[in-house]
Structures are given as C-alpha cells and as structure tokens.
Structure 1
Amino acid sequence: MDHNIILFRLYIIIALCFLIPLSLLVSIQLYSLFKSYALTYFLLNFFLNNNKVNCNNKDYDTLFILLLKQQRFFLCISSVEYLLSLRYSELDPLYMLLAYCYQNHNFCYVAEYYYLKALSCSPNNEIILSKLTQVSSKLSKHPKLYTNDGLIL
C-alpha cells in the first residue's frame, strides 16, 4: 500500500513538472494572440471610422506589421488600398508594402508593378531596387545593367 502511494505521488510530481511549463507557454501565447488581435481590431476600427488620414506613420506601421505577422494579407492589401484612395502623402512605402504582400503570394507580376510604381516615386531608393531585382529574378527577367566598369547584375 505504501509503495502505491509513493508511485502515485511520483507520477503526480512528474506530470506537474511537464504540465506547469506547458500551461505557462500556452497562456503566454494566448495572451500575445489576444493582445495582437485586440490591437489590430482597435487600429482598424479607428482608421475606418476616421475618414481623415491624421495619424502619424507609426500607427500605420504598427497596424501593417501586426497584419503581416498574422498573415492577414488580404486585410493588409485592402487597408493599403484604402490609404491610397485617401491620397496618403508618402506613396512609396505603401507601394512597397503592396508589392511585398503580392510577392509573398507569388503574384510576381503584380509585385513587380508595385515595385516599379514605388521606384517612380523615389528613383534612388536602393531597397526598392534590390526588391525589384529579386522579383525580376523570380520572373526570369534578369535586367542587365552595364556601367563603365562592366556588368552589375
């Protein structure tokens, strides 16, 4: 009888040693998930209820980062298109974000289109040029750029 109680207590201790860290991990993940969804819901409602673009860029960046982390690309694309329809002042980051969303879903021709639009807004941006090169290489369009020193790409 004493031996069974010791085995039962040992079983309970071992089970608790595995279940306590597991429950802690699950509760941290649930808290993180709830926090990101609540913040996304708040930001989306705030932007949709205000037809004016009067927030700073940090709010928009936070919203788009959350949407991309949650892999809600359609919502991200529609939010960016909404900002474009409101004539948002800085167009090249929005075009880059649209291109990134389309590139993640392997719509490379559409991504190339938006990278080219971003490039027309800021032609000397090296980030846009490198992303455009990546998309072009996926499409097997290797643009050959020549300088005085020789071939760049």
Structure 2
Amino acid sequence: MNNNIFLFRFYIVFSLFFLIPLASILTVQFLDFFQLYYINLLFFLSRFDMKKIFLNRFNDIDLFNFYLISKQWFLAICLLEFSSFCKKMSENSIFSYLAFCYRKLSYYNIAEYYYLKAISLSSQDVYLLGALASMYDEMKLNDKALSLYRQIYNFDKNYLIPKFYSSLIVNYSG
C-alpha cells in the first residue's frame, strides 16, 4: 500500500516536471508552424486573386523580415527574386537585401556581386559601402576594405569605422 502511494506520487512529479514543459515546447512549435503556413498561404493566394490583393509592397517587406528573423534564407531570396520580377520594390533595395542574404549564407562572391550592383545605383550610400567593407574585412581583403573605408570617410566623417582602419585613414589623409 505504501509502495503504491510512492509510485503514484513519483508518477505525478514526473509528469509535472517532464511532460508539461515538453507539451509547452510542442505547442510553441505548432503555433510557429501554423503562423508560417498562414502567412505563406495568404501571400500565394493574393498572387492568384488580382482583384483583391491582400498584400502590397509593405507586406512583402514584412514577409521578407519574417523570413529573415526565422533565418529562412532560401525563402527570403526567392521572395526578393519574385519582387524583382514583379517590380514591386526598388532595385537598390532588392540588391542590398540579396547581398545581405548571400552574405549570411557565406556566399561571399555572390554577395559582393549584389553589393556592387547596389552601389552602382547609389554610389554614396555609406551603409552599403560599410557593409561591403566589413564583408571584405571578414574575407581578410584588407586593401579593398581600406579603400572603401576611405570612401566612407570622405562622404561621412561621423561614420563609425573600425579602429584598425580609422588609424590608417587618419595617417593617410593627415
């Protein structure tokens, strides 16, 4: 009798400490899955019903941000390519976002290509120049990074440049 009560209490404690957290984790995963399914369903249904477009350019950006947050790089790239095809976003934005995605996937050559295309459209965008320079720094291409940081310094003297390069720029220009 005493042994049965102990086993029953052990079972209750086990279920409270193991099964309830497991159930909550599974619930969160199911909610994320259904949210992603719902967003994708709305997005693709809006493409087929041209009279009632649920999504506009801003919702495409929200969907893109959702893919970025969930680190679904392939879906983000597909959405950007589709937006480029439909001409729903500016080319400069598409190229810079594509460069960011490919950089996160460590495809540095493709990322460099898209950064250079975006920079060709807006050559004085210090944030694009800074992103490309930091990628060059990651790739240990210090000469290219230094030349870009010099361009950034010429456009915006308040831009935060890494200490290693800022000392070289000050010595070069001074």
Same fold (TM over 0.5): yes
Instruction: Give the TM-score of the pair, scaled to structure 1.
Output: 0.78
CA deviations 1:31-59 (Å, max 9, x no partner) are 12211222123213424665xx9954320
Distance 1:54 1:78 in 2: 19
Distance 1:54 1:8 in 2: 56
Task: Name the count of aligned residue pairs.
Answer: 149
Residue 39 of structure 2 corresponds to residue 42 of structure 1: no
Identity %: 24
* 1:6-45 aligned within 5 A: 6-18=5-17, 19-45=19-45
Distance 1:96 1:151 in 2: 30
Q: Which amino acid aligns with 1:14?
A: V
Distance 2:80 2:10 in 1: 55
Alignment RMSD: 2.7
Counterpart of 1:123 in 2: which secondary structure?
A: coil
Q: Which amino acid aligns with 1:61?
A: I
User: Higher helix proportion, which one?
Assistant: 2
Distance 2:138 2:170 in 1: 26
Task: Between the two structures, name the one with larger relative contact order (CA 8 Å, sep ≥ 6).
Answer: 1
TM-superposed deviation, 1:111: 0.3
- Given that residues 95 and 114 in structure 2 are in contact (C-alpha distance below 8 angstroms), is that contact kept between their aligned partners in structure 1? yes
CA deviations 1:64-83 (Å, max 9, x no partner) are 12323444333322221222
Instruction: Give the TM-score of the pair, scaled to structure 2.
Output: 0.70
Distance 1:54 1:24 in 2: 32
Partner of 1:120: 120
Distance 2:102 2:36 in 1: 23
